Protein backbone atom coordinates (compact mmCIF):
# COMPACT_ATOMS: atom_id res chain seq x y z
CA UNK A 1 0.00 0.00 0.00
CA UNK A 2 1.38 3.39 -1.03
CA UNK A 3 0.74 6.18 1.46
CA UNK A 4 0.14 9.74 0.38
CA UNK A 5 1.89 12.66 2.05
CA UNK A 6 -0.73 13.21 4.76
CA UNK A 7 -1.00 9.52 5.54
CA UNK A 8 2.78 9.39 6.03
CA UNK A 9 2.69 12.43 8.32
CA UNK A 10 -0.18 10.87 10.24
CA UNK A 11 1.68 7.57 10.65
CA UNK A 12 4.87 9.22 11.88
CA UNK A 13 3.27 11.75 14.21
CA UNK A 14 0.75 9.31 15.64
CA UNK A 15 3.59 7.03 16.74
CA UNK A 16 5.75 9.84 18.20
CA UNK A 17 4.53 12.78 20.21
CA UNK A 18 7.88 14.49 19.66
CA UNK A 19 7.47 14.25 15.88
CA UNK A 20 3.91 15.55 16.29
CA UNK A 21 5.27 18.51 18.25
CA UNK A 22 7.82 19.31 15.55
CA UNK A 23 5.29 18.99 12.73
CA UNK A 24 2.51 21.06 14.29
CA UNK A 25 4.61 23.77 15.97
CA UNK A 26 4.20 26.09 13.01
CA UNK A 27 0.43 25.66 13.09
CA UNK A 28 0.10 27.70 16.31
CA UNK A 29 3.46 29.46 16.83
CA UNK A 30 4.68 32.17 14.45
CA UNK A 31 8.28 32.09 15.66
CA UNK A 32 10.61 29.36 14.35
CA UNK A 33 11.22 26.54 16.80
CA UNK A 34 14.49 26.71 18.70
CA UNK A 35 15.13 23.06 19.56
CA UNK A 36 16.65 21.94 22.86
CA UNK A 37 17.12 18.54 24.45
CA UNK A 38 14.55 19.16 27.19
CA UNK A 39 11.73 19.39 24.62
CA UNK A 40 12.24 15.86 23.36
CA UNK A 41 12.70 14.62 26.92
CA UNK A 42 9.37 16.08 28.04
CA UNK A 43 7.61 14.81 24.91
CA UNK A 44 8.94 11.29 25.49
CA UNK A 45 7.92 11.36 29.15
CA UNK A 46 4.40 12.47 28.26
CA UNK A 47 4.13 9.78 25.60
CA UNK A 48 5.17 7.13 28.14
CA UNK A 49 2.39 8.33 30.45
CA UNK A 50 -0.16 8.31 27.62
CA UNK A 51 0.84 4.82 26.42
CA UNK A 52 0.02 3.48 29.88
CA UNK A 53 -3.40 5.18 29.85
CA UNK A 54 -4.10 3.83 26.35
CA UNK A 55 -3.54 0.31 27.69
CA UNK A 56 -5.53 1.00 30.91
CA UNK A 57 -2.52 0.12 33.06
CA UNK A 58 -2.83 1.37 36.68
CA UNK A 59 -1.08 4.66 37.37
CA UNK A 60 2.16 4.10 39.34
CA UNK A 61 2.67 7.81 40.04
CA UNK A 62 1.57 11.30 39.16
CA UNK A 63 4.08 13.70 37.64
CA UNK A 64 5.40 17.08 38.77
CA UNK A 65 7.40 19.13 36.27
CA UNK A 66 9.29 22.22 37.46
CA UNK A 67 10.77 24.30 34.65
CA UNK A 68 11.40 28.02 34.19
CA UNK A 69 9.22 30.27 32.03
CA UNK A 70 10.17 30.49 28.37
CA UNK A 71 10.81 26.75 28.04
CA UNK A 72 7.70 25.91 25.92
CA UNK A 73 6.18 23.97 28.80
CA UNK A 74 2.61 25.10 28.10
CA UNK A 75 2.95 24.53 24.36
CA UNK A 76 4.13 20.97 25.00
CA UNK A 77 1.88 19.90 27.84
CA UNK A 78 -1.29 21.99 27.68
CA UNK A 79 -1.65 22.64 23.95
CA UNK A 80 0.07 19.94 21.88
CA UNK A 81 -0.25 16.90 24.16
CA UNK A 82 -4.07 16.66 24.29
CA UNK A 83 -4.31 17.13 20.51
CA UNK A 84 -1.82 14.28 20.00
CA UNK A 85 -3.56 11.97 22.48
CA UNK A 86 -6.77 12.25 20.46
CA UNK A 87 -4.96 10.79 17.44
CA UNK A 88 -4.50 7.58 19.46
CA UNK A 89 -7.41 7.77 21.90
CA UNK A 90 -10.13 10.01 20.46
CA UNK A 91 -12.42 9.34 23.41
CA UNK A 92 -9.86 10.75 25.88
CA UNK A 93 -11.25 13.31 28.31
CA UNK A 94 -9.07 16.15 29.61
CA UNK A 95 -9.57 18.45 32.58
CA UNK A 96 -7.10 21.32 32.29
CA UNK A 97 -6.70 23.96 34.97
CA UNK A 98 -4.49 26.97 35.55
CA UNK A 99 -4.36 29.74 38.16
CA UNK A 100 -6.66 31.94 36.06
CA UNK A 101 -9.45 31.11 33.64
CA UNK A 102 -7.99 33.38 30.95
CA UNK A 103 -4.73 31.38 30.99
CA UNK A 104 -6.57 28.05 30.81
CA UNK A 105 -8.70 29.32 27.93
CA UNK A 106 -5.66 30.57 26.01
CA UNK A 107 -4.19 27.07 26.07
CA UNK A 108 -7.56 25.58 25.12
CA UNK A 109 -7.83 27.85 22.08
CA UNK A 110 -4.33 26.86 20.96
CA UNK A 111 -5.28 23.19 21.18
CA UNK A 112 -8.49 23.84 19.25
CA UNK A 113 -6.50 25.69 16.59
CA UNK A 114 -4.36 22.58 16.14
CA UNK A 115 -7.32 20.22 15.88
CA UNK A 116 -9.13 22.46 13.40
CA UNK A 117 -6.11 23.32 11.23
CA UNK A 118 -6.01 21.96 7.69
CA UNK A 119 -2.98 19.72 8.27
CA UNK A 120 -4.50 18.02 11.33
CA UNK A 121 -7.83 17.47 9.58
CA UNK A 122 -6.15 15.92 6.54
CA UNK A 123 -3.98 13.69 8.71
CA UNK A 124 -6.66 12.76 11.23
CA UNK A 125 -10.04 13.32 9.54
CA UNK A 126 -11.83 11.20 12.14
CA UNK A 127 -11.22 13.88 14.77
CA UNK A 128 -13.81 16.61 14.26
CA UNK A 129 -15.34 18.88 16.86
CA UNK A 130 -19.03 18.92 17.62
CA UNK A 131 -20.65 22.16 16.55
CA UNK A 132 -23.13 22.08 19.44
CA UNK A 133 -20.34 21.71 22.06
CA UNK A 134 -17.53 23.95 20.88
CA UNK A 135 -16.85 26.76 23.34
CA UNK A 136 -13.63 28.14 24.75
CA UNK A 137 -14.07 26.41 28.08
CA UNK A 138 -15.48 23.11 26.83
CA UNK A 139 -15.27 21.48 23.43
CA UNK A 140 -15.93 17.88 22.42
CA UNK A 141 -15.12 15.77 19.43
CA UNK A 142 -17.60 13.45 17.76
CA UNK A 143 -15.98 10.38 19.31
CA UNK A 144 -16.79 11.36 22.93
CA UNK A 145 -13.45 12.98 23.75
CA UNK A 146 -13.46 16.46 25.29
CA UNK A 147 -11.39 19.16 26.92
CA UNK A 148 -12.71 21.12 29.90
CA UNK A 149 -10.64 24.16 30.86
CA UNK A 150 -11.01 26.25 34.00
CA UNK A 151 -9.21 28.48 36.44
CA UNK A 152 -8.29 27.09 39.86
CA UNK A 153 -11.47 27.05 41.89
CA UNK A 154 -13.61 27.08 38.74
CA UNK A 155 -16.55 24.79 38.12
CA UNK A 156 -15.43 21.31 37.05
CA UNK A 157 -18.13 19.35 38.86
CA UNK A 158 -19.96 16.74 36.82
CA UNK A 159 -17.00 16.11 34.49
CA UNK A 160 -14.24 13.54 34.75
CA UNK A 161 -10.92 13.14 32.99
CA UNK A 162 -8.54 10.44 31.85
CA UNK A 163 -5.87 13.15 32.12
CA UNK A 164 -5.77 15.95 34.71
CA UNK A 165 -3.42 18.67 33.46
CA UNK A 166 -2.43 21.45 35.86
CA UNK A 167 -0.39 24.22 34.25
CA UNK A 168 0.87 27.01 36.54
CA UNK A 169 -1.65 26.52 39.36
CA UNK A 170 -0.33 29.55 41.24
CA UNK A 171 0.23 33.11 40.11
CA UNK A 172 3.47 34.71 41.40
CA UNK A 173 1.43 37.36 43.20
CA UNK A 174 -0.75 34.72 44.86
CA UNK A 175 2.30 33.06 46.39
CA UNK A 176 2.60 35.91 48.89
CA UNK A 177 -0.89 35.25 50.27
CA UNK A 178 -1.32 32.41 52.75
CA UNK A 179 -5.07 32.43 52.10
CA UNK A 180 -4.52 32.02 48.35
CA UNK A 181 -2.02 29.21 48.95
CA UNK A 182 -4.48 27.36 51.16
CA UNK A 183 -7.28 27.77 48.62
CA UNK A 184 -5.16 26.46 45.74
CA UNK A 185 -3.87 23.50 47.72
CA UNK A 186 -7.36 22.67 48.97
CA UNK A 187 -8.57 22.55 45.35
CA UNK A 188 -5.64 20.31 44.43
CA UNK A 189 -6.23 18.02 47.43
CA UNK A 190 -9.99 17.65 47.44
CA UNK A 191 -11.68 18.85 44.24
CA UNK A 192 -9.33 17.75 41.46
CA UNK A 193 -8.65 14.14 42.59
CA UNK A 194 -12.39 13.43 42.59
CA UNK A 195 -12.57 14.24 38.88
CA UNK A 196 -10.89 11.03 37.66
CA UNK A 197 -12.60 8.74 35.16
CA UNK A 198 -10.80 5.77 36.67
CA UNK A 199 -9.01 6.31 39.95
CA UNK A 200 -6.61 3.46 39.16
CA UNK A 201 -5.65 4.70 35.71
CA UNK A 202 -6.19 8.47 35.46
CA UNK A 203 -2.99 10.47 35.78
CA UNK A 204 -2.34 14.00 37.02
CA UNK A 205 0.44 16.08 35.51
CA UNK A 206 1.44 19.31 37.26
CA UNK A 207 3.79 21.71 35.51
CA UNK A 208 4.88 24.97 37.11
CA UNK A 209 7.70 27.26 38.07
CA UNK A 210 8.31 27.06 41.83
CA UNK A 211 6.95 30.00 43.79
CA UNK A 212 6.73 28.97 47.44
CA UNK A 213 7.73 26.15 49.75
CA UNK A 214 4.03 25.27 50.04
CA UNK A 215 2.98 25.76 46.43
CA UNK A 216 1.23 22.73 44.85
CA UNK A 217 4.55 21.22 43.76
CA UNK A 218 5.95 21.58 47.25
CA UNK A 219 2.88 19.96 48.79
CA UNK A 220 2.87 17.04 46.34
CA UNK A 221 6.61 16.46 46.80
CA UNK A 222 6.47 16.59 50.61
CA UNK A 223 7.60 13.11 51.77
CA UNK A 224 5.29 13.37 54.78
CA UNK A 225 2.27 13.24 52.48
CA UNK A 226 3.30 9.83 51.17
CA UNK A 227 2.30 10.47 47.55
CA UNK A 228 3.91 8.61 44.68
CA UNK A 229 5.32 11.35 42.44
CA UNK A 230 7.81 11.39 39.59
CA UNK A 231 9.66 14.67 39.86
CA UNK A 232 11.15 16.33 36.80
CA UNK A 233 13.11 19.40 37.85
CA UNK A 234 14.94 21.44 35.23
CA UNK A 235 16.37 24.66 36.72
CA UNK A 236 17.34 27.35 34.23
CA UNK A 237 20.94 27.06 35.35
CA UNK A 238 22.99 24.97 37.73
CA UNK A 239 24.56 26.82 40.64
CA UNK A 240 26.71 24.97 43.11
CA UNK A 241 25.30 26.98 46.02
CA UNK A 242 21.71 26.03 45.21
CA UNK A 243 20.19 23.17 47.20
CA UNK A 244 17.91 22.16 44.31
CA UNK A 245 19.37 19.68 41.86
CA UNK A 246 18.40 18.53 38.40
CA UNK A 247 15.95 15.62 38.51
CA UNK A 248 16.27 12.95 37.35
CA UNK A 249 19.95 13.40 38.14
CA UNK A 250 21.17 11.88 34.87
CA UNK A 251 19.71 14.84 32.95
CA UNK A 252 22.43 17.13 34.29
CA UNK A 253 24.77 15.76 31.62
CA UNK A 254 22.76 17.58 28.95
CA UNK A 255 23.31 21.03 30.47
CA UNK A 256 25.83 23.12 28.56
CA UNK A 257 28.06 25.33 30.69
CA UNK A 258 25.52 24.85 33.46
CA UNK A 259 22.62 26.14 31.34
CA UNK A 260 19.35 24.36 30.56
CA UNK A 261 18.86 26.13 27.22
CA UNK A 262 21.89 28.21 26.16
CA UNK A 263 20.03 29.61 23.13
CA UNK A 264 16.71 30.75 24.60
CA UNK A 265 17.99 31.21 28.16
CA UNK A 266 21.65 32.24 27.74
CA UNK A 267 23.66 33.72 30.58
CA UNK A 268 23.02 37.30 29.51
CA UNK A 269 19.25 36.73 29.56
CA UNK A 270 19.40 35.00 32.95
CA UNK A 271 21.43 37.86 34.41
CA UNK A 272 18.78 40.34 33.30
CA UNK A 273 16.02 38.13 34.69
CA UNK A 274 17.84 37.92 38.03
CA UNK A 275 18.01 41.69 38.15
CA UNK A 276 14.35 42.09 37.20
CA UNK A 277 12.94 39.31 39.39
CA UNK A 278 15.12 39.91 42.45
CA UNK A 279 16.84 37.25 44.54
CA UNK A 280 13.68 35.44 45.66
CA UNK A 281 11.89 35.58 42.30
CA UNK A 282 14.93 34.35 40.40
CA UNK A 283 15.68 31.57 42.84
CA UNK A 284 12.12 30.25 42.79
CA UNK A 285 11.06 30.81 39.19
CA UNK A 286 14.36 30.11 37.42
CA UNK A 287 16.32 27.88 39.81
CA UNK A 288 13.16 26.11 41.07
CA UNK A 289 14.31 26.76 44.64
CA UNK A 290 11.83 28.90 46.62
CA UNK A 291 14.62 30.28 48.79
CA UNK A 292 17.16 32.87 47.61
CA UNK A 293 20.72 31.62 47.24
CA UNK A 294 22.41 31.67 50.62
CA UNK A 295 19.04 31.43 52.34
CA UNK A 296 16.05 33.64 52.89
CA UNK A 297 15.83 36.18 55.66
CA UNK A 298 17.58 33.70 57.97
CA UNK A 299 20.83 32.37 56.47
CA UNK A 300 20.62 28.90 57.96
CA UNK A 301 23.87 27.77 56.36
CA UNK A 302 25.58 29.94 58.97
CA UNK A 303 23.92 28.22 61.95
CA UNK A 304 26.48 25.95 63.61
CA UNK A 305 25.13 22.51 64.53
CA UNK A 306 26.83 21.28 67.71
CA UNK A 307 26.58 18.42 70.20
CA UNK A 308 26.84 20.74 73.21
CA UNK A 309 26.80 24.48 73.90
CA UNK A 310 30.13 26.15 73.02
CA UNK A 311 30.32 27.86 76.41
CA UNK A 312 28.53 28.12 79.74
CA UNK A 313 24.89 29.19 79.44
CA UNK A 314 24.25 32.24 81.63
CA UNK A 315 20.61 32.96 80.80
CA UNK A 316 17.84 31.12 79.02
CA UNK A 317 14.14 31.17 78.32
CA UNK A 318 11.44 28.94 76.89
CA UNK A 319 9.20 30.91 74.51
CA UNK A 320 5.84 29.52 73.40
CA UNK A 321 3.86 30.22 70.26
CA UNK A 322 0.48 28.59 70.85
CA UNK A 323 -2.11 27.18 68.47
CA UNK A 324 -5.44 25.99 69.78
CA UNK A 325 -6.78 23.53 67.20
CA UNK A 326 -5.82 19.88 67.36
CA UNK A 327 -4.41 18.64 64.03
CA UNK A 328 -5.12 22.09 62.62
CA UNK A 329 -3.05 24.19 60.26
CA UNK A 330 -0.69 25.70 62.83
CA UNK A 331 1.60 24.20 65.45
CA UNK A 332 2.16 25.01 69.09
CA UNK A 333 5.89 25.47 69.56
CA UNK A 334 8.13 25.92 72.58
CA UNK A 335 11.71 27.02 71.83
CA UNK A 336 14.28 26.96 74.62
CA UNK A 337 17.13 29.34 73.91
CA UNK A 338 20.21 30.26 75.88
CA UNK A 339 22.92 32.91 75.77
CA UNK A 340 26.46 31.95 76.75
CA UNK A 341 28.76 34.11 78.89
CA UNK A 342 30.44 35.18 75.63
CA UNK A 343 27.05 36.17 74.13
CA UNK A 344 26.69 33.23 71.80
CA UNK A 345 23.10 32.25 70.99
CA UNK A 346 22.21 28.56 71.43
CA UNK A 347 19.00 26.76 70.47
CA UNK A 348 18.72 24.22 73.28
CA UNK A 349 15.39 22.52 72.67
CA UNK A 350 12.32 22.66 70.43
CA UNK A 351 8.99 21.08 71.29
CA UNK A 352 6.34 21.15 68.58
CA UNK A 353 2.93 19.62 67.96
CA UNK A 354 -0.60 20.09 66.70
CA UNK A 355 -2.36 19.69 70.02
CA UNK A 356 -5.74 20.51 71.43
CA UNK A 357 -5.80 22.94 74.36
CA UNK A 358 -5.72 20.27 77.08
CA UNK A 359 -2.77 18.38 75.59
CA UNK A 360 -1.00 21.64 74.82
CA UNK A 361 -1.26 22.90 78.41
CA UNK A 362 -0.09 19.52 79.70
CA UNK A 363 2.95 19.69 77.40
CA UNK A 364 3.79 23.27 78.43
CA UNK A 365 3.76 22.28 82.10
CA UNK A 366 5.82 19.16 81.46
CA UNK A 367 8.48 21.28 79.70
CA UNK A 368 8.45 23.70 82.64
CA UNK A 369 9.21 20.85 85.05
CA UNK A 370 12.09 19.64 82.86
CA UNK A 371 13.53 23.14 82.31
CA UNK A 372 13.34 23.97 86.03
CA UNK A 373 12.26 27.13 87.83
CA UNK A 374 15.45 28.88 86.71
CA UNK A 375 14.14 29.04 83.14
CA UNK A 376 11.51 31.77 82.59
CA UNK A 377 8.53 30.91 80.39
CA UNK A 378 7.49 33.42 77.77
CA UNK A 379 3.85 33.29 76.68
CA UNK A 380 2.51 35.26 73.73
CA UNK A 381 -0.93 36.77 74.34
CA UNK A 382 -2.78 37.29 71.08
CA UNK A 383 -5.39 39.99 70.56
CA UNK A 384 -9.07 39.49 71.31
CA UNK A 385 -10.85 37.92 74.25
CA UNK A 386 -9.98 34.38 73.10
CA UNK A 387 -6.27 35.11 73.10
CA UNK A 388 -6.46 36.76 76.52
CA UNK A 389 -8.40 33.86 78.04
CA UNK A 390 -5.97 31.33 76.57
CA UNK A 391 -3.03 33.26 78.03
CA UNK A 392 -4.65 33.48 81.45
CA UNK A 393 -5.30 29.74 81.37
CA UNK A 394 -1.61 29.05 80.68
CA UNK A 395 -0.47 31.38 83.47
CA UNK A 396 -2.74 29.58 85.96
CA UNK A 397 -1.46 26.24 84.70
CA UNK A 398 2.13 27.35 85.41
CA UNK A 399 1.64 28.44 89.02
CA UNK A 400 4.97 28.26 90.82
CA UNK A 401 7.02 29.10 87.72
CA UNK A 402 8.20 32.44 86.42
CA UNK A 403 5.85 33.34 83.55
CA UNK A 404 6.20 36.44 81.38
CA UNK A 405 3.32 37.37 79.10
CA UNK A 406 3.58 39.77 76.19
CA UNK A 407 1.62 41.12 73.23
CA UNK A 408 3.56 40.84 69.94
CA UNK A 409 3.99 44.04 67.93
CA UNK A 410 5.02 44.39 64.31
CA UNK A 411 4.97 41.70 61.64
CA UNK A 412 6.75 38.35 61.89
CA UNK A 413 9.55 39.41 59.55
CA UNK A 414 10.34 42.51 61.60
CA UNK A 415 10.36 40.56 64.86
CA UNK A 416 12.79 38.04 63.33
CA UNK A 417 15.36 40.60 62.12
CA UNK A 418 17.41 40.82 65.37
CA UNK A 419 17.78 37.03 65.51
CA UNK A 420 18.51 36.73 61.76
CA UNK A 421 21.27 39.33 62.18
CA UNK A 422 22.98 37.10 64.74
CA UNK A 423 22.60 34.14 62.38
CA UNK A 424 24.19 36.11 59.56
CA UNK A 425 27.08 36.96 61.85
CA UNK A 426 27.74 33.28 62.59
CA UNK A 427 26.82 33.71 66.26
CA UNK A 428 24.00 31.13 66.49
CA UNK A 429 24.44 27.51 67.51
CA UNK A 430 21.86 24.73 67.47
CA UNK A 431 22.06 21.42 69.32
CA UNK A 432 22.00 18.36 67.09
CA UNK A 433 18.76 16.66 68.11
CA UNK A 434 15.89 14.78 66.38
CA UNK A 435 13.99 18.09 65.99
CA UNK A 436 16.93 19.98 64.42
CA UNK A 437 16.26 19.16 60.77
CA UNK A 438 12.63 20.37 60.76
CA UNK A 439 13.58 23.43 62.77
CA UNK A 440 16.34 24.49 60.39
CA UNK A 441 14.10 23.79 57.39
CA UNK A 442 11.42 26.20 58.59
CA UNK A 443 14.01 28.87 59.29
CA UNK A 444 15.55 28.37 55.87
CA UNK A 445 12.33 29.03 53.96
CA UNK A 446 11.13 31.91 56.16
CA UNK A 447 9.34 34.22 55.39
CA UNK A 448 8.02 32.05 52.54
CA UNK A 449 7.76 28.94 54.72
CA UNK A 450 4.64 26.85 55.07
CA UNK A 451 4.73 27.27 58.86
CA UNK A 452 6.20 30.14 60.85
CA UNK A 453 5.53 28.98 64.41
CA UNK A 454 9.11 27.93 65.19
CA UNK A 455 10.45 31.21 63.82
CA UNK A 456 7.93 33.18 65.88
CA UNK A 457 8.87 31.40 69.10
CA UNK A 458 12.58 31.80 68.28
CA UNK A 459 12.16 35.54 67.66
CA UNK A 460 10.32 35.96 70.96
CA UNK A 461 12.98 34.05 72.89
CA UNK A 462 15.83 36.01 71.33
CA UNK A 463 14.24 39.43 71.75
CA UNK A 464 13.52 38.67 75.40
CA UNK A 465 17.02 37.41 76.21
CA UNK A 466 18.69 40.25 74.33
CA UNK A 467 16.92 42.69 76.65
CA UNK A 468 17.80 40.84 79.88
CA UNK A 469 21.10 41.41 81.63
CA UNK A 470 22.79 38.23 82.88
CA UNK A 471 23.04 37.60 86.62
CA UNK A 472 26.32 38.51 88.23
CA UNK A 473 26.85 34.88 89.17
CA UNK A 474 26.34 32.59 86.19
CA UNK A 475 24.96 29.11 86.54
CA UNK A 476 26.19 26.21 84.44
CA UNK A 477 24.03 24.61 81.79
For residue 32, what pLDDT band results from cuts at 50, 70 and 90? Answer: very high
237-293 per-position pLDDT tens digit:
998 877 789 999 999 999 999 999 999 999 999 999 988 887 778 888 999 988 655
Measuring CA to CA, which residue among 346, 362, 333, 283 is closest to residue 452? Answer: 333
Give me the domain span that covers residue 40: 5-234
CA distance 374 to 366: 15
In this prediction, residue 1 carries a pLDDT of 59
pTM of the model: 0.71
Same domain? 316 vs 230: no
Residue 188 lies in a domain: yes
Percent of the chain residues past pLDDT 70, beyond the cut: 93
CA distance 287 to 24: 30
CATH of the domain at 398: 3.30.420.280
Same domain? 134 vs 210: yes
pLDDT higher than 60, residue 372: yes
In this prediction, residue 474 carries a pLDDT of 40
In this prediction, residue 378 carries a pLDDT of 95
In this prediction, residue 383 carries a pLDDT of 58
Which residue, of 216, 234, 252, is where some domain finishes? 234
Q: Mean pLDDT score of the chain, rounded to an integer?
A: 89
Tally of domains in the chain: 2
Backbone φ and ψ for 151, nearest 5 degrees, come out as -80, 160
First to last CA, the chain: 89
Same domain? 189 vs 322: no
Helix axes 453-466, 436-445, angle to 10 degrees: 90
Span 302-319, mean pLDDT? 95
CATH of the domain at 62: 3.40.50.300
Omega cis (within 30) before 248? yes
Span 60-68, mean pLDDT? 96
Q: Pick the range with the lowest mean pLDDT from 32-46, 294-308, 332-346.
A: 294-308
Amino acid sequence: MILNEHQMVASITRDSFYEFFLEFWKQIIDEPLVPNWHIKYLCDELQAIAERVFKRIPNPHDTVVNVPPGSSKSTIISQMFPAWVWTRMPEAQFICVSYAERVALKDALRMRDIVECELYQKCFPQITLREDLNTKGLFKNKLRGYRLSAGLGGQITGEHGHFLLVDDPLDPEQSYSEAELRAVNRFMDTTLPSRKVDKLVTTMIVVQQRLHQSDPSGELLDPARGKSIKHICLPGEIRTESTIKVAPAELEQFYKDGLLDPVRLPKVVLEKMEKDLGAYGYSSQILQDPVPLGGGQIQTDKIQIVQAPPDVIVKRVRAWDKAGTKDGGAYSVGVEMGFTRSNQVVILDVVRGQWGSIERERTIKQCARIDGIGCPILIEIEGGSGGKESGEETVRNLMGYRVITFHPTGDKESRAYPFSSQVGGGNVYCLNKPWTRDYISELRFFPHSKYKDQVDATSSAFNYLAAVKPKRRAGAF
